[in-house]
Amino acid sequence: MVAETPRTKSLVLEIPGWEGHKAGQHVDVRLTAPDGYQAQRSYSIASAPEDERLVLTVDRLDDGEVSPYLTEVLMAGDKLELRGPIGGYFTWEATDNGPLLLVGGGSGVVPLMAMIRHRAAVGSAVPARLLYSSRSYEEIIYRKELEALAAQDGSLEVIHTLTRTRPEGWSGYSRRIDAELLGEVAWFPDESPLAFVCGPTPLVEAVGTALVGLGHEPARVKTERFGATGG
Amino acid sequence: MDDKLRLDGNAAAGTLGEVFSFEVTTAEYACNGCGRAGRLGGAMVYEVRELGTIVRCPSCDNALIRLAHNRERHMVDLRGMRYLTTG
């Protein structure tokens, strides 16, 4: 168990017989109560296919049924029931090329991080930009790792925007992601980037609509909405 | 339908995987309502916990797939699609 932010934890899992995954895929985690009641939720895989162990990063939703258990109760050594890897649509492999435009809100960064880690693990030179919206500096997941990866790799850019509170002297963006911000940050449509957008439904729909409005081909803009029923 | 409950086809991949033996999110469909063709991963999904899943066309909102859960069984209604290709 690795604490990423006050609200998110990464679960490092050892899965016998795991046959590997693609960056961007998720797993379904199922919990069964002693009385037989079951609750199931989907969580994105955060680790690269090349990593030895599977990592899920879970955001704790206070009124959730599954995430409070995974982040507060589960202990190292406990067993989990999961199904996966799932989904072949919202995935990226280094051979798919790019350039890559990754847009994430909150814990929507998790499947994008799997792509960034995969890209680094195979030494891909595909230019990549991550535009990442968080409420506050403290809530930026993987902040140090992203800094380190961007520092050693000139073709990876990480651009943050903080929507609620900013530390003193913050020089990054401080507004919600809209068409104007995407116009400043995104690749031009004629560079035919592959875009992956993941986060809460309103953010994903706003970004998806804005990218298509800027002239990006809809088939190259892939989205994954978290919805409001997570947890 | 509550917009906040809207998800991507990807979200239903686990459940649909209990019905189809191929990767459904990359499967191509044509909508019986408006004729739009696309991949199921890019369609809209509304999940009603423990009860069922509805996959809708992103253009016209027609229900492409209706899947109801009843204990260990699934009931699938595919009338909303003209065709569905494998994987």
d(CA A111, CA A121): 15
A66 contact residues in B (CB cutoff 8 A): none
- In this predicted complex, what is the ipTM? 0.70
Residue B4's pLDDT is 54
Between B11 and B25, residue with greater pLDDT = B25
d(CA A6, CA A59): 9
Average pLDDT for chain A: 92
Is position B86 within any domain?
no
Sign of the CA dihedral running A231, B6, B11, B12: positive
Give the DSSP H or E segment for A170: none
Is position B17 within any domain?
yes
Residue A164's pLDDT is 95
d(CA A75, CA A89): 32
The CATH 2.40.30.10 portion of chain A extends over 2-86
* Second CATH level (architecture) for the domain A2-86: Beta Barrel (2.40)
Residue A228's pLDDT is 47
Bridge partners of residue A2, in order along the sequence: A10
Tokens found for residue A6: 């006050």
Give the CATH number of domain A94-225; options: 3.40.190.10, 3.30.70.100, 3.10.20.30, 3.40.50.80. 3.40.50.80
- Residue B7: pLDDT band (50, 70, 90) is confident
The CATH 3.40.50.80 portion of chain A extends over 94-225
d(CA B81, CA A133): 37
Is position B70 within any domain?
yes
Compute and round to an integer the Cα radius of gyration of chain A: 17
- Ranges under pLDDT 50 in chain A: 228-230
Q: Domains in chain B: how many in total? A: 1
pLDDT reading at B85 higher than 50:
yes
Cβ contact A42–B11 (<8 Å): yes
Q: What percentage of chain A carries pLDDT values higher than 70?
A: 98
Residues of B within an 8 Å Cβ radius of A: 2-11, 13-14, 17, 23, 25-26, 39-42, 47, 49, 87
Range of the domain at B59: 3-81
Residue B3's pLDDT is 55
Tokens found for residue A27: 């797993």
- The dihedral region occupied by A3, where left means phi > 0, alpha psi between -120 and 50, and beta the remainder, is beta
User: What does the pLDDT look like over A25-54, one tens digit per residue?
Assistant: 999 998 888 888 888 888 999 999 999 999
Longest CA pairwise span in chain A (Å):
57
| Min distance B66 CA to chain A CA atoms (Å) | 19
